[in-house]
Amino acid sequence: MNQLLAQCDPFFGCVSPPPGVKDYGDFKTGLIPFANNILKLMIVGAGIFAFINIIVAGYGFLSAGGDSKKVEAAWNKIWQSLLGLAFVAGSFVLAAIFGWLIFKDPTAILSPKIYGP
C-alpha cells in the first residue's frame, strides 16, 4: 500500500489512500482533475436535460390538438433545446480553436496539463 510520509504517525498509525484514488494517478490529484470532472458532469447533464426537454416538447406538440398557442409553445421549447445543444457543442469547437491558436494544441483548454515539482 502507498502511504504518504506526512500521514504516518506512530501514535495514530498510518493512513492509506482509498481504492478510488489510484484512478487519478498516485496522489497527483488537485483542482484541475476535479474541475474537468465537474465540467464533464455539467455537459452530460445539459445533454440529458435537452433530450428530456425535446421529448416533453414533442409530446406537447402531438397533444396540442390544433391549438395554435400550444403548438407555438412546443415549437419554442424544441427550438430552445436545440439551440442549447448547439451552444454546448459550440463551446467545444471554440475551446479547440482557441487552444490551437494560443497553445498549438486543440485539447489544451479542455485537458490542461500543469507541470511542476
Interval 94-104: pLDDT, tens = 999 999 999 99
Q: Model confidence over 42-73: pLDDT tens digits?
A: 989 999 999 999 999 999 999 998 899 999 99
In angstroms, the CA 64 to CA 58 distance is 10
Residue 116 predicted with pLDDT over 60: no
Confidence of residue 115 (pLDDT cuts 50, 70, 90): low
Confidence of residue 28 (pLDDT cuts 50, 70, 90): low
Phi and psi based region of residue 4 (left: phi greater than 0; alpha: psi -120 to 50; beta: remaining): beta
Overall pTM surpassing 0.85 (yes/no): no
3-state secondary structure (DSSP) of residue 9: strand
State how far the Cα of 94 lies from the Cα of 109, in Å rounded to an integer.
10
Give the three cell numbers for residue 38: 465537474
Spatial contact of 111 and 36, defined as CB atoms under 8 Å apart: yes
